[in-house]
Amino acid sequence: MPLRRTPAQRRPLGALVFLLMGVAPTVALPLAWFVATRALAVTTALSLLGLGAFAAVGWLLWHFRLPRPAPLVVDNHGVRFPYFRGPQPWLALDEIVVARATDGGLTLVAAVPPGHAARGATGSWILPRRVFVSATDAAVVVDSVRARLARRPDGARLLARLDDNAERQRRFQATRPVVVWGTVGACVAVFAGEWLTGATGDVDALVRMGANAGAAVRQGELWRVVTACLLHGSVLHLVMNATSLWSTGALVERWLGRPAMILVLFCSGAGGHLASALAQRAPVSVGISGAVFGLLGVLLVSSWRYRAQGTGGLRVPASSWLFLLVANALLSTLPFLDVVAHGAGFALGVVLGAVVSPRPGRGSVLGPRALRGAAALCVVLTVVAVVFAVVGASADVSKAATAAAAAVSPAAP
């Protein structure tokens, strides 16, 4: 099967877009956060951006010096792929568990049972549509793999495994993260209300709207630990939390389902703010970052449970966990950052992940009916908390208006 270019190659415009849209925000947003909190000087931030741009240019120059690709080969032993240096990697034919051709290209994944050694040189390969000469070439590769498998003595079992995994992936990708969309939309709508009323940057106004004021929570206003999740202190705060929730939450919701996602978001978000109020570390805090850390806790549980599985689960590489650990360790040094809420949200996410995340070959500890009931309770509690916040804010506004009118009214005779 001839290919147009090696999988690692991209067109210059595509590679530039990848840098600007995928890599640049992960560097620029933290630097902007450091500058905004005065933890980093503007000149230092610009210098770091310059170094990043220099590294990006070097990456582009190296990226397009790759040699011409070799053909992709499907034989009785496996699938062999072109590579830009060294030996050609390959997937053993009977270890392939996913073989799918979509509009985006070709996906092949090989799995090895626990305790066995892989005979192929790699575990997965994704070829985008642009590397193929013809639009139908990806489907031809899949047909070739299936035809080779059908000739094997255990071909029926291997083909049934392919079909089952393909259906699971189809259902996973077809699920729309409605809960994540709704949560992000609610945060944006509430922040628009903050902006219109001038509450952004005004601590007293945020407290009136339902921020997590530790003293008030300890006096019984528990609804604040829920409404504080929807409030944010600035545009940058909202953007960072919303993008994190959008990217991580979409994966977790597709994996867990909507009821479990509602339960994780509510418990880790509200639980993080409750822990912050009880710890008395931050007098006032807002944001849904505790729920985002709860999602990371769920990912940690899934990654551990499926660490020896070829397919299934959500697995995050160890390098990604190292990056998250270092990044959050640095962020924890910033002022006005509620580390207690983050840590409590993550811990609750780990506990909830152990309960709601499916186990290999089995379902979750909580059944579908229990998850739906818990999710419905979380929705009701959220609505009640918002009602308390609206009523409390209205009462505060009414008291302020009465006091102002009394101050300007003439004294009675």
Do 349 and 302 meet the contact criterion of CB atoms below 8 Å apart?
no
Who's near 212: CB < 8 A, 6+ residues apart?
224, 225, 228, 273, 276, 277, 282, 284, 285, 286
8-state DSSP, 40:
S
User: CA-CA distance, 47 to 7, in Å (whole number)?
Assistant: 33
313 phi-psi bin (left φ>0, alpha ψ -120 to 50, beta other): left
Determine the residue type at 124: S
**Can you tell me whether residue 357 is helix, strand or coil?**
coil
Cα–Cα distance for residue pair 55/61, rounded to 1 Å: 10
Cα(307)–Cα(315) distance, rounded to whole angstroms?
7
**Among residues 237, 342, 357, 364, which one is catalytic?**
342
Would you state the structure tokens that stand for residue 353, as one six-digit string? Answer: 């992940």
Determine whether 238 is exposed, middle or buried from the number of CB atoms within 10 Å of its CB (0-12, 13-18, 19+): buried
Task: Say which DSSP state 105 is in.
Answer: E
Q: From 62, 53, 79, select the one nearest 10 (Cα to Cα).
A: 62
Catalytic pick from 289, 303, 357, 364? 289
Contacts of 377-382 with CB under 8 Å at 24 or more apart are 378/262, 378/263, 378/265, 378/266, 378/267, 379/262, 381/226, 381/266, 382/226, 382/266
- Catalytic residue flag (residue 232): no
Q: Do residues 144 and 162 lie in contact, with contact meaning Cβ atoms separated by under 8 Å? A: no
* 342: annotated active-site residue: yes
Instruction: Give the active site residues.
Output: 289, 342
